[in-house]
Structure 1
Amino acid sequence: MSCSNCFKGAVHEGTPRGIETKFNGRDTYVVEPATNLDSPSSSPPAAKGIVVILSDAFGWKFTNLRTLADEIARKGQFRVYLPDFFDGRVAPLWLLDVMPKLELPGFWATLWKPYYGIRAAAALGPFLISNRPAVSMPKILPFMESLRNEAKQQRLSLGVAGYCWGGKPAVNLAHTELVDCAFTAHPSALALPGEIERIRVPFSLAIGDMDFVMGMKEVEQTKGILKAKSDDVPSQVVVYPGGGHGFAVRGHPDDEKEKMQGIQAEDQAIEWFTTYLKAT
């Protein structure tokens, strides 16, 4: 896997409308279904289900993810949770500026590459060590178990959406009964074929055909595995032409194609949750 692709992209503008709270001892951003904008005095609608977003490397305070959570809550009428499973040890946003400089051509750019490389390594090393699967899953599972119990009490279904770093744990949650369905966009570090073979709940994947973390060979392998079990487990794989790693979260808003593909991936997730998150 080319880790550098997990730390590229753009920061989006926006003002998140949710709240910061604690759930199961973890800092969590929570946003409820939106009030009808045509009738702002009306009461907020009841949630149709619960969605947990597992973040990319930039964590639960990343504006891109918070505004994405807002849109999933607004469009789908879901309650959305965005927890901090990094315990504050996130990738710094300045990596979004530094990583592209490591690939710039030219004499002067080359002279600066050792400096940028050292800066990147100093940030990436601690992040990757602190948030490896053996460390992160023991944090994620108790949170999901607690939320699953709460969802059952409220007669709500529970889904998970994982982006980049969050894709792997989202896929692993799809092996369990802790979630009713799962969505992931451009997941990183998947162990194929096993982690796809063990999926047991409705599963949706958004991936770009220019993703160098999960290449088209792996995408076709994933399609084949999911197709073989389609009688028992509904699934979909949507390939976005020209989409690179991170397009669903960190696409450049001034690039019309990247912007539209981000919206399309957002709608893909919402449609999947609308179909498979039903009242229990």
Structure 2
Amino acid sequence: MSFTDCCIKGFEWEGTPTGTEGKLGDNDTYITGTNPDVAVLLIHDLYGWKFPNVRLLADHWAREANVTVYVPDFFGGEAVDLGHVEANRWDLLRPFIARNAREIREPEIFACARVLRPKYKKVGAAGYCFGGWACFRLAAREHDPPLVDCISVGHPSLLTKDDVDGVAGAAVPIQVLAPEKDPVFSPEMKLHTFQKLQELGAPL
């Protein structure tokens, strides 16, 4: 599977998002669900927080799992040029990616989790592609107490061995959805993730 097949040849789901737009800390945020005790911080992929699919997914989780889901904007009000994405023009996308590098967005992501932490009894985080590395960082043992109670990631991009090595072990359960063929989450990273999480005692 090529990167284009995995991340670009997607489709837009049918339906109309039912949540509302508000704030989570300083970030504009899509909010859906009404559970006062359990929240999920859903970290979007390259398509951003306004892409209908991510909002419809948030709505589905809110209904099916009875959680309140927050989808903050972690691209600073900017949206990726979908035409460039669909044309696989990464040369034109590099400036956008640089403006939203993990080193830039990580403090915002931590800040949003810190707003949720005292408000809810349980806080989970989920992320696909761009959101994957961020969830691992939220699960890092450097946070005391933990910022989240569990994470779920799919096809994590920009993930490093240090991110995996730094998780809080048994304190934060981790779910990793890894396609058999993934140009971003390489076989080497999959193996390291699987072995290291077992070594750290992380519930899988």
Give me the TM-score of the superposition, normalised by structure 1.
0.65
For residue 149 of structure 1, what is the amino acid of its counterpart?
P
Q: CA deviation at 1:226?
A: 1.3
1:179 equivalent in structure 2: 148
For residue 115 of structure 2, what is the amino acid of its counterpart?
S
2:183 equivalent in structure 1: 212
2:95 equivalent in structure 1: 126
For residue 63 of structure 1, what is the amino acid of its counterpart?
P
Task: Kindly tell me the number of residue pairs found equivalent between the two proteins.
Answer: 195
Of 163, 173, 190, which residue of structure 2 is paired with 1:195?
A: 163
Are residues 1:13 and 2:14 paired? yes
Question: Within 2, Cα distance between the matches of 1:96 and 1:204?
Answer: 28
Q: CA deviation at 1:8?
A: 4.2
Give yes or no for contact 2:17–2:55 (8 Å, CA) kept in 1.
Answer: yes
Superposed, 1:72-151 pairs within 5 Å as: 72-99=61-88, 117=89, 120-122=90-92, 124-151=93-120
Question: Within 2, Cα distance between the matches of 1:24 and 1:98?
Answer: 35
Q: CA deviation at 1:47?
A: 4.8
Give yes or no for contact 1:49–1:78 (8 Å, CA) kept in 2.
Answer: yes
Are residues 1:228 and 2:192 paired? no
Tell me, what secondary structure is at the counterpart of 2:156?
Answer: coil
Question: Within 2, Cα distance between the matches of 1:188 and 1:90?
Answer: 19
Instruction: Map Cα deviations across residues 115-168 of structure 1 (whole Å, 9 max, x no partner).
Output: xx4xx422x1222111111110121122211121222xxxx2101001100111
Question: Within 1, Cα distance between the matches of 2:160 and 2:23?
Answer: 32
Question: Within 2, Cα distance between the matches of 1:24 and 1:208?
Answer: 34
Question: Within 1, Cα distance between the matches of 2:128 and 2:74?
Answer: 13
Q: Percent identity?
A: 34
Question: Within 1, Cα distance between the matches of 2:97 and 2:148?
Answer: 26
Question: Within 2, Cα distance between the matches of 1:162 and 1:140?
Answer: 12
Relative contact order higher in (CA < 8 Å, ≥ 6 apart)? 1
For residue 19 of structure 1, what is the amino acid of its counterpart?
T
Instruction: Map Cα deviations across residues 220-243 of structure 1 (whole Å, 9 max, x no partner).
Output: 22111112222xx212xxxxxxxx
Q: Which has the higher helix share?
A: 1
Question: Within 2, Cα distance between the matches of 1:143 and 1:227?
Answer: 29
Q: Which runs of 5+ in 2 are unaligned?
A: none
Q: CA deviation at 1:210?
A: 1.2
Give yes or no for contact 1:8–1:96 (8 Å, CA) kept in 2.
Answer: no
Instruction: Map Cα deviations across residues 21-70 of structure 1 (whole Å, 9 max, x no partner).
Output: 1221211000015xxxxxxxxxxxx4551000010011110111001111
Q: CA deviation at 1:202?
A: 0.8
Q: Which runs of 5+ in 1 are unaligned?
A: 34-45, 100-116, 236-280
- The range that moved more, 18-27 or 177-186, is 18-27
- Could you list the structure 1 runs, at least 4 aligned residues long, displaced by more than 6 angstroms after superposition: none
Question: Within 2, Cα distance between the matches of 1:88 and 1:7?
Answer: 21
What root-mean-square deviation, in Å, do the aligned CA atoms of Structure 1 and Structure 2 show?
Answer: 1.9
For residue 77 of structure 2, what is the amino acid of its counterpart?
G
Q: CA deviation at 1:96?
A: 4.7
- The range that moved more, 19-28 or 69-78, is 19-28
1:168 equivalent in structure 2: 133
Instruction: Map Cα deviations across residues 99-130 of structure 1 (whole Å, 9 max, x no partner).
Output: 2xxxxxxxxxxxxxxxxx4xx422x1222111
Give yes or no for contact 2:62–2:69 (8 Å, CA) kept in 1.
Answer: yes
Give yes or no for contact 2:129–2:157 (8 Å, CA) kept in 1.
Answer: yes
Question: Within 2, Cα distance between the matches of 1:127 and 1:3?
Answer: 18
